[in-house]
Structure 1
Amino acid sequence: MAEITVAGLEKSYGSFTALHGIDLHVEDREFLVLLGASGCGKTTLLRCIAGLETASRGEIAIGGRRVDPLPPRARKIAMVFQNYAVFPHLTVFENIAFGLRMKKMPNAEVDEKVRRAATMMHIEQLLARYSGQLSGGQRQRVAVARALAMEPEVLLMDEPLSNLDALLRLEMRAELKGVLQESRTTTIYVTHDQVEAMSLADRIAVMHGGHIVQHASPLDVYRDPATRFVGSFIGNPPMNFLPATRTTAGWEVAGLTMPGPAIDAHTIEFAVRPEDLTPAETGLTGRVKVVEPLGAHQLVTMDVAGHHFRVVLESDLVVRPGETLRLAPRPERVRWFDPTSQTAIDRSLVPS
């Protein structure tokens, strides 16, 4: 069992606190993604779990065994970095074998583990080459194979695909997910790329300002953001937000009255994703500013009551800048936020 438990973890650098009391549980064999913008603390958290940083406070356990007092080599983890760290003077075989030889394994066992890891990453035909003869994608495969050859209880990955071009990143993403499903290794993966997070993760922990602000499945993070930040960070384009004011008939949003949360407040925020609106005779009214064709769809940027607003529409719908467009939000996809706490309002308070 290689479940990971982080309890009350804090990390400070002088007067700056990078991590604020992090609590996190990763199930055995789970693929967890730490997602957030640069500077949110995700890499610091990963390095604390790896033992490359010492936490200021809190505990870390792997498989029920507390590891934060232990050095990295005693934690039964492997780590894949953004820059690959593939040794140029060694062959692919010796790069993958490096950690195994450090553990003084017999040659026959090293050979077996190297070839198995290379086969998993589809680089068995490259074992005799030097890293200088490899492409970026091939070097990344070598780095992952080297980590898998160690048969770690936990695999930690810090933005491992960020140096690859878009097409290669797409290919590596699918390959990596298949390999880790096969190896059944508990994995924590750091990225700022939300598409990468949504496609790879069993669960996502969204980080902001040194806090985990939501920890849920990719679909829950997308459909039910816990905070305004999550709604604005997840999704491309992100959620639309408009102020909502209480009236006797419900909540007024940009001149449209609609049912909303039964709470004691005068003003809240209405939120809806760009793909969850459809043209209608009655709805939110706005003036079209920019139309961007995207193949099967088009992204339309509008002005709605003085607010920047985006909608994704079918490409065969003719929309021109300067036109007035009315859009009806899908009621079941509308979300509401408290403007003071920036947190989502409980959906049970919204009439069905």
Structure 2
Amino acid sequence: MADIVIKSVAKRFGSHTALHDIDLTIKDQEFMVLLGASGCGKTTLLRIIAGLETLSSGEVSIGGRRVDHLPPRERGIAMVFQNYAVFPHMTVFENIAFGLRMKKVSEADIKDKVTRAATLMHIDPYLERYSAQLSGGQRQRVAVARALAVEPSVLLMDEPLSNLDALLRLEMRAELKGILAESKTTTIYVTHDQVEAMSLADRISVMNGGRIVQAAPATTVYANPADRFVGGFIGNPPMNFLPAKRSGNEAEVAGYRLAAPAGGGSLELGIRPEDMDIAEDGLHGKVRVVEPLGPHKLVSVDVDGHLLRAVLPNEADVKSGAAVALAPRPGTVRWFEAESGKAVATSGVAA
């Protein structure tokens, strides 16, 4: 078992607190993605798990064993870095074998494990080449193969695909998910790329300001964000937000009435750009920009001084400057507290 339990972990750099009492459990063989903008604390948390950074308080356990006092080599982990960290003076074989030799594995076993890891990563034809003779994608495959060859309990990956071009990143992403599922390795993967996170993760931990604001499967994070930050961070384009005036069990948004959660306090409506259709009645506004994007078009609409983005089919008859009404599809509206930004309920459109 290689479950990971992070309990009340905090990290302070002088007067700056980088992590605020993080609690997180990663299940055995789970693929967990730490997602957030630069400076949110995701790499700091990864480095604490790896033993490359000391924590200020809290505990880290792997497989039921507390490890936060242990050096990295005794934690049963392997790590893949953003810059590959492939040794230029070694061949691909020697790079992959490096960790095994450090563990004093026999040469026969080294050959077997290196061959297996290289085959898994589709780099077995290049075992005698040096890193200068490899492409960026091949060097990244070497780095992953080296990590997998030592058969770690936990694999930690820090932005491993960020240096690759878009097409290669897409290919590597698909391969990586299959390879790690096959290896049955518990994986923590750091990225700022939400598409990468959504496509890879069993669960996503969205981080903001040194805190985990939501940890859930990708579909849950997307469809039911825990707060306004998650809704605005996840999605491209992100979720739209419009102020609402509450009246009993209804709310008025730019003159359009919807069913709303009961209670006091000001509300904001949240709606995904792809969850709206042109209708006779809806959120009325004036089209500002129409952007053709191949399979669909992105339409930006001015609704009472607020910008509303909608993803519409190419056949939708909308032109810049025209008046339009956009109706949210039933069940897709989300509500947030205007002051705290926290999600309060899910509701469809009132009949």
Fold conserved between structures, TM > 0.5: yes
Deviations 1:38-81 (A, max 9, x none): 00000000000000000000000000000000000000000000
Tell me the alpha carbon deviations over residues 14-34 of structure 1, each in whole angstroms, 9 at most, x when there is no partner.
000000000000000000000
Q: CA deviation at 1:249?
A: 7.1
d(CA) in 2 for partners of 1:23, 1:126? 42
CA drift at 1:179: 0.3
> What is the distance in 2 between the residues matched to 1:294 and 1:342?
31
**Counterparts of 1:226 and 1:215, CA distance in 2:** 9
**Partner Cα distance (1:238, 1:202) in 2:** 21
**Contact 1:261–1:350 (CA<8 Å) still a contact in 2?**
no
Structure 1 residues 248, 69: CA separation in 2 closer, same or farther (over 3 Å shift)?
Answer: closer
* Separation of aligned partners in 2, 1:31 and 1:205: 11
The answer (yes or no) to whether the contact 2:82–2:162 under 8 Å persists in 1 is yes
Whichever residue aligns with residue 9 of structure 2, its letter is L
* Corresponding pairs, count: 351
Residue 105 of structure 1, CA deviation: 1.1
Distance 1:349 1:16 in 2: 43
- CA distance in structure 2 between the partners assigned to 1:188 and 1:241 by the alignment: 31
Aligned to 1:73: 73
Three-state SS of the structure 2 residue aligned to 1:241 is: strand
Which residue is equivalent to 2:181? 181
Q: Which residue of structure 2 lines up, in the alignment, with residue 55 of structure 1?
A: 55
Partners of 2:245 and 2:267 within 8 A in 1: yes
Contact 2:331–2:347 (8 Å) recurs in 1: no
Return the letter of the residue paired with 1:318: D
TM-score, scaled to structure 1: 0.98
Q: Deviations over 1:143-196 (max 9, x none)?
A: 000000010000000000000000000000000001001000000000000000
| Alignment-mate amino acid for residue 333 of structure 1 | T
Distance, in Å, in 2 between the alignment partners of 1:174 and 1:298 is 27
The answer on whether the counterparts of 1:118 and 1:145 sit within 8 Å (CA) in structure 2 is: yes
Inter-CA distance 348–58: structure 2 relative to 1 (3 Å threshold): farther
CA distance in structure 2 between the aligned counterparts of 1:259 and 1:76, rounded to whole angstroms: 52
Which residue of structure 2 lines up, in the alignment, with residue 42 of structure 1? 42
Counterpart CA distance in 1 for 2:133 and 2:250 is 66
Encode CA deviations 1:226-267: one digit per residue, 9 max, x unaligned. Answer: 0100000000000000000023672110111111111123x2
Could you say which residue in structure 1 is the equivalent of 2:294?
295
Distance 1:29 1:140 in 2: 22
Percent identity of equivalent pairs: 68
Equivalence map 1:223-302=2 (5 Å): 223-247=223-247, 250-265=250-265, 267-302=266-301
State the match for 1:161 in structure 2: 161
With over 3 angstroms needed to count, the CA separation of the structure-2 counterparts of 1:107 and 1:22, relative to structure 1, is same
Distance 2:16 2:239 in 1: 31
Unaligned 5+ residue runs, structure 1? none
In structure 2, distance between residues paired with 1:263 and 1:59: 39
Aligned to 1:333: 332
Segments of 5+ residues of structure 2 without an aligned counterpart are none
Structure 2: which amino acid aligns with 1:299?
L
Q: Work out whether residues 2 and 154 of structure 1, in 8 Å CA contact, stay in contact via their aligned partners in 2.
A: yes
CA drift at 1:308: 1.0
The residue type equivalent to 2:110 in the other structure is V
> RMSD of aligned C-alpha atoms?
1.4
AA matched with 2:120:
M
Q: Is the 8 A contact 1:261 1:351 kept in 2?
A: no
Offset, 1:339: 1.3
Structure 1 stretches of at least 4 aligned residues deviating more than 3 Å after TM superposition: 346-352
Most deviating of 340-349 and 171-180: 340-349
The alignment status of 1:15 with 2:15, answered yes or no, reads yes
